[in-house]
Structure 1
Amino acid sequence: MPKVLESRRVGRVAVNEVRSLLERHGHIVQEIDGVNDHGEDLHVTFVRDGQRTADSLAVQVKGGVSVRTRRGHRVQVGDHGDNWRDGTLPVLCVVHDPERGGLFWANATRQLRRAEALRKTLKSVVLPRDSLLDDDTAEAFVQRMRSYLRWEREGIGRWADMADVEFAPDDIVKPFMNDCGEPMVFWQKRGEQFAVLLHHDLDWEPVNIEERMLYFSPIPFIGNIILDEAEAHWLMGCFKATEWWRRPLESDGTA
């Protein structure tokens, strides 16, 4: 009789655990046939109040002890890096390790983009031991991923990933592309007296900026960052357009 490999059994258990958890919370999970499995095992679409949302992602599932590390788990990227980083759907890695508590997850797309910003090649996706995904954490996980997918649809998610920051739902985020094709992002949080600049030339390291720091002569600059004229005018427009969002929360009657 043909022998069923242990690795197949472990893999099937892992996939079933992920699918069971998400379906138990009402979400749509479509398994990808093994013949067409090129680095993703599941497609997930989130459901809210019984209604299908526009938020979908892909999941690569692993099981067994082979991906364990002392601090968590690692999933090898292999030749999936370009697809996981730049594909149509963001990709998560989920590991099933019942001896350590069940399911653990990480955003592979985000880690790959951050590595790109740092000019590094990511060989494996890291899943920390505190990244547990279970019935107790499922709702927070879904909310976090739906917020992430919202910014992804708006074309801004990549820059958050590269800067290793997370935009809140009520943040004002304004992207800009200079004439050299270099992207920049103006990021204003509610009630903060400063904004944050994310810039390709700054390796996406967040820089706090204020309108009083912006000068147009003798050359355009903000803080110690030299700008071209278009960038300076864009920043001025961003500051003017978001002045109301920097007001203290109590000043406009909202708490």
Structure 2
Amino acid sequence: MAVNEVRALLERHRHIVQEIDGANDHGEDLHVTFVQNGERTEDSLAIQVKGGVSTRTRRGHRVPVGDHESNWRDGSLPVLCMVHDAERGGLFWANATRQLRRASALRKKTRSIVVSRESVLHDANIAEFVEDMHHYLVRERQGVGRWADMAGVEFAPDDIVKPFENEVYEPMVFWQRRGEPFAVLLHHDLDWEPVRIQERMLHFEPLPSVGNVILDIAEAHWLMGCFRSTEWWRRPVKQGEPA
């Protein structure tokens, strides 16, 4: 019944839903491709569906991860968990991939996906949900969605996001919002905690660094290039300009 409720909601809004044979269930019940203006988009994801009673908590629901952790976190498609609980108001959802990536950044073991009672999905807000998923999946295709998830941040559609990997394969991200006088550094060695940085904080001597963050020389030169190429995006937004 829960799977049918999710399928019915998505298909009412003309999205493409493919149910996975229950005999081959590997932690995903549905594959979904979103449709816009009658045309199939490049936005696809997987959904694990549960009935509500068995997963209820006081604040919502919890969906057990079981042995699906690596697939939900690192698979080719992001995975959502959806719970149908008619007594509590219908369908509720959570981004399992995002929660598992964040837990990995914090070096925590996640046994279940938290589904908040506030994250309800219905006909009135499904367009907003699909738009949010579109932005999320765009960042996935750009190769920076993982780092936003691990840092627990949201990249806006017009943010400048520049990833980099040093010689020992440690990833980091330069993140610039429109009109902000500072950028943000997301760094593997800093457990992905956002650090505000400015160009004046970048030094090459005596050791390459930005603020209190020690860098190697390649990282310092990369950051300099990021600052120089995004200076225009830090300028204050003038009155009348689109934000």
Kindly indicate whether residue 14 of structure 2 is the aligned counterpart of residue 26 of structure 1: yes
Structure 2: stretches of 5+ with no match in the other structure: none
1:252 deviates by: 9.2
Q: Deviations over 1:36-93 (max 9, x none)?
A: 1110000000111111000000000000311000000000000000110111100000
Tell me which residue corresponds to 1:7: none
202, 213, 219: which one pairs with 1:225? Answer: 213
Q: Secondary structure at the match of 2:17?
A: strand
The answer as to 2:181 corresponding to 1:193 is yes
Is 1:54 aligned with 2:35? no
The amino acid that maps onto 1:111 is Q
TM-score, reference length from structure 2:
0.98
**5+ long unaligned stretches in structure 1:** 1-12
Per the alignment, residue 127 of structure 1 pairs with 115
What is the percentage of aligned positions where both structures have the same residue? Answer: 74
Superposition pairs of residues 1-255 of structure 1, within 5 angstroms: 13-250=1-238, 253-255=241-243
Counterpart CA distance in 1 for 2:13 and 2:196 is: 40
Give the 3-state SS of the residue equivalent to 1:127 in structure 2.
strand
Matched residues in 2 for 1:193 and 1:47: separation?
A: 38
* Greater C-alpha Rg: 1
What is the count of residue pairs matched by the alignment?
243
> 2 CA distance for matches of 1:181 and 1:168?
26
Paired residue secondary structure (1:95): strand
